[in-house]
Amino acid sequence: MKNTTILIALFLTYFVTAQTEIRLTTEPSDIKISKHIYGHFAEHLGRCIYGGFYVGEDSQIPNLDGVRTDIIAALKEMKIPNLRWPGGCFADTYHWKDGIGPKSDRPTMVNQWWGGVTEDNSFGTHDFLNLCEALETEPYISGNVGSGTVREFADWLQYVNHDGVSPMADLRRENGRDKPWNVRFWGLGNEAWGCGGNMTAEYYANLYRQYATYMTDWTNSQQMYRVASGASDGNYRWTEVLMKNIPKNLIEAVALHSYSVIDWGNKSSATAFSEKQYFQTMQRAFKMDEYITKHVAIMDQYDPERKIDLIVDEWGGWYDVEPGTNPGFLYQQNTIRDAMIAGMTLNIFNNHAQRVTMANLAQTVNVLQAVILTEGEKLILTPTYHVMKMYAVHQDAKLIPLSFDTPLFNFEGESLPALSASASQNEAGDIHISLVNIDSQMAHSVSIPLENLNSKKVSIEAIQSPKIQDHNTFEQPNKIEVKTFTDFNVKRDQIQFEIPAHSVLLIKIASK
Ligand code: AHR
């Protein structure tokens, strides 16, 4: 063979991939992708609440009862369906009665997990629940099991949910709120195996039973939703013990936490990362599928009717803090790499929607894989924000199972599936396919047959940028945003295009 022929052969092997055909089943399934998969998490940690959401009533920054109105507007625009609060690890140190009544009278505490800063309790139950009302989102309260009491927990429920005459409902009225908030989602502790009390699974399961017994939602109109503090990553034993030991009438969901961190001892920079670190982060994020599959398999053994949900109430990328910032505040930038984590992970959740009915990205503002970063009065939306907003079309839509053979993303002798996707059909009949190419080097050629679909009206949106390290800054806030993608054609009953390297696409096939 001549040298040029060899070169052409090599070129074809490495730079031109076969076309991947993504097939939609003709009918959507009966499985609904719960909107709560797109939930968020706000802890009293670093600048998430204080200096993030909450700037105080006297701030020059426009606010509603102390909460930044620009944050409220951005989160509503993103269609935030629920918000978990007040932790995280903080939840098992939090005593809710310290956060009600006149702000000047509230006692202080020290935030033992996050920087040892003084917490003045100026953002408490009313502030949080009123914020949820302003956001038109459902609150998800994580109660204190680690250092609290059964009575304290039960009183909190009565305070926020009881409509009649009772000591806690009367106290709420004294504090200016007549009607209850009717909070449905309640977490019983957080990471009980760690910061939530270093408990064994057996001990926690017993404690859970005790707490759950005294929980009542005080309303006849809605179901209380109790979430057991779940495993981290592949701790399947934890899930098994909870499923075995907690009676079904006391539990609605088991949680799972999983962070995309390369190495807890060497997490690496959020922006100045190498190709190898990028690949390792993708490997870590991709593990979510295995974790969910295996936790669900255990749940299936004990709950074959699938009455108990799996909720991933903490997930996201975790890196070194930004240079010069408080290590206890977990403030990190957010790049195209984070858009890949978000796109891939949300596809995994959608495809597991039968059991995974809620998830909470950690955390909303200024902490970990945030959707919003603030600096004084300035605010930027991160690439992750744009993914969450783009994927909002899947909220409460019917899952459409897909089948395809993904090309591989190869790196130094290891490989990962390059493409991930999920699809749904909304009430109007529109079909949306979210497609992610995590391959940092190569575009991949894709076709989507349309022959069984009535409509061929196709449009595509994209999140992409030349480098995986690219991100929005306060100086250049719109470097990464959602753009219309026109580089496709619809021919012979197929949509055809090349999905660019490290990009997220949303393909819409409109019903009319
Ligand atoms: O999200 C930050 C922390 O990570 C949470 O407080 C804790 O639950 C987890 O370990």
Domain of residue 84, CATH code: 3.20.20.80
Do 284 and 431 fall into the same domain?
no
* Atom of ligand 1 minimally distant from the CA of 232: 10
Distance 494 CA to ligand 1 centre (A): 45
Query: For residue range 314-364, what is the model confidence (pLDDT) as tens digits?
Result: 999 999 999 999 999 999 999 999 999 999 999 999 999 999 999 999 999
Q: How many CA atoms lie within 13 A of 50 on its CB side?
A: 14
Of residues 75, 88, 78, 80, the one with CA closest to residue 46: 88
What percent of the chain has a predicted confidence (pLDDT) above 70? 96
Do 175 and 317 fall into the same domain?
yes
Q: Which of 43, 119, 138, 314 is catalytic?
A: 314
Query: For residue range 157-181, what is the model confidence (pLDDT) as tens digits?
Result: 999 999 999 999 999 999 999 999 9
Distance 259 CA to ligand 1 centre (A): 9
Please report whether residue 381 resides in a domain.
Answer: yes
DSSP 8-state symbol, 473: -
Query: For residue range 45-82, what is the model confidence (pLDDT) as tens digits?
Result: 999 999 999 999 999 999 999 999 999 999 999 999 99
Distance 89 CA to ligand 1 centre (A): 6
Do 468 and 327 fall into the same domain?
no
Do 387 and 369 fall into the same domain?
yes
The yes-or-no verdict on residue 257 having pLDDT over 90 is yes
Range of the domain at 433: 19-28+401-510
Confidence of residue 12 (pLDDT cuts 50, 70, 90): very low
Site to probe by mutation for ligand 1, drawn from 49, 92, 257, 366 as the one with most ligand atoms within 8 Å of Cβ, is 257
In this prediction, residues 476-482 reach a mean pLDDT of: 98
Residue 133 annotated to the active site: no
- The DSSP element (H or E) to which 75 belongs, if any, is helix 69-77
The encoded tokens of residue 236 equal 């399947």
- pLDDT given at position 193: 98
The yes-or-no verdict on residue 13 having pLDDT over 50 is no
Confidence of residue 10 (pLDDT cuts 50, 70, 90): very low
- pLDDT given at position 453: 77
Name the pTM for this structure. Answer: 0.95
Do 24 and 112 fall into the same domain?
no
Q: Whose CA is nearest to atom 7 of ligand 1?
A: 88
Q: Whose CA is nearest to atom 9 of ligand 1?
A: 88
Please report whether residue 478 resides in a domain.
Answer: yes
* Atom of ligand 1 minimally distant from the CA of 363: 1
Which of 220 and 59 is assigned the larger pLDDT? 59
In this prediction, residues 131-158 reach a mean pLDDT of: 98
Query: For residue range 406-423, what is the model confidence (pLDDT) as tens digits?
Result: 999 999 999 999 999 999
Site to probe by mutation for ligand 1, drawn from 111, 145, 195, 369 as the one with most ligand atoms within 8 Å of Cβ, is 195
- pLDDT given at position 1: 41
Query: For residue range 446-458, what is the model confidence (pLDDT) as tens digits?
Result: 999 998 777 779 9
The yes-or-no verdict on residue 220 having pLDDT over 70 is no
Please report whether residue 47 resides in a domain.
Answer: yes
Do 98 and 180 fall into the same domain?
yes
Do 364 and 226 fall into the same domain?
yes
Enumerate residues lining ligand 1, CB below 6 A. Answer: 43, 87-89, 190-191, 314, 362-363, 368
Site to probe by mutation for ligand 1, drawn from 188, 191, 260 as the one with most ligand atoms within 8 Å of Cβ, is 191
- pLDDT given at position 456: 74
Report phi then psi at 87, rounded to 5: -165, 180
Do 280 and 160 fall into the same domain?
yes
What residues have CB less than 8 Å from 141, skipping those under 6 apart?
A: 84, 85, 86, 128, 156, 160, 183, 185, 186, 187
Q: Whose CA is nearest to atom 2 of ligand 1?
A: 88
Amino acid at 28: P
Do 358 and 456 fall into the same domain?
no
Amino acid at 425: Q
Please report whether residue 42 resides in a domain.
Answer: yes
Residue 481 annotated to the active site: no
Do 378 and 409 fall into the same domain?
no
- Among the candidates 364, 396, 428, a domain finishes at 396
Do 357 and 415 fall into the same domain?
no
Query: For residue range 80-123, what is the model confidence (pLDDT) as tens digits?
Result: 999 999 999 999 999 999 999 999 999 999 999 999 999 999 99
The yes-or-no verdict on residue 2 having pLDDT over 70 is no
* Atom of ligand 1 minimally distant from the CA of 41: 1
Q: For residues 106 and 148, is the Cβ–Cβ distance under 8 A? A: no
- Among the candidates 396, 426, 451, a domain finishes at 396
348: left (phi over 0), alpha (psi -120 to 50) or beta: alpha
Of residues 135, 44, 115, 47, the one with CA closest to residue 85: 44
* Atom of ligand 1 minimally distant from the CA of 43: 6
Report the distance separating Cα 356 and Cα 239, nearest Å: 14
* Atom of ligand 1 minimally distant from the CA of 89: 6
Please report whether residue 3 resides in a domain.
Answer: no
Residue 79, SS3 per DSSP: coil
Of residues 365, 434, 383, 282, the one with CA closest to residue 40: 365
Q: Which of 138, 191, 252, 461 is catalytic?
A: 191
- pLDDT given at position 11: 47
Domain of residue 438, CATH code: 2.60.40.1180
Of residues 266, 261, 258, the one with CA closest to residue 289: 258
What percent of the chain has a predicted confidence (pLDDT) above 90? 92
In this prediction, residues 368-394 reach a mean pLDDT of: 98
Please report whether residue 137 resides in a domain.
Answer: yes
Q: For residues 50 and 40, is the Cβ–Cβ distance under 8 A? A: no
Distance 491 CA to ligand 1 centre (A): 49
B/e letters for 215-237, b = 16+ CB within 10 Å, e = fewer, are bebbeeeeebbbbbbbbbeebee
Confidence of residue 17 (pLDDT cuts 50, 70, 90): low
* Number of structural domains found in the chain: 2
Report the distance separating Cα 67 and Cα 53, nearest Å: 5
Do 449 and 326 fall into the same domain?
no
- Among the candidates 396, 413, 432, a domain finishes at 396
The yes-or-no verdict on residue 5 having pLDDT over 60 is no
Please report whether residue 483 resides in a domain.
Answer: yes
- pLDDT given at position 276: 97
Report the distance separating Cα 82 and Cα 94, nearest Å: 20
Length of the chain, in residues: 512
Please report whether residue 9 resides in a domain.
Answer: no
The yes-or-no verdict on residue 292 having pLDDT over 90 is yes
Of residues 402, 428, 351, 419, the one with CA closest to residue 27: 402
Distance 6 CA to ligand 1 centre (A): 53
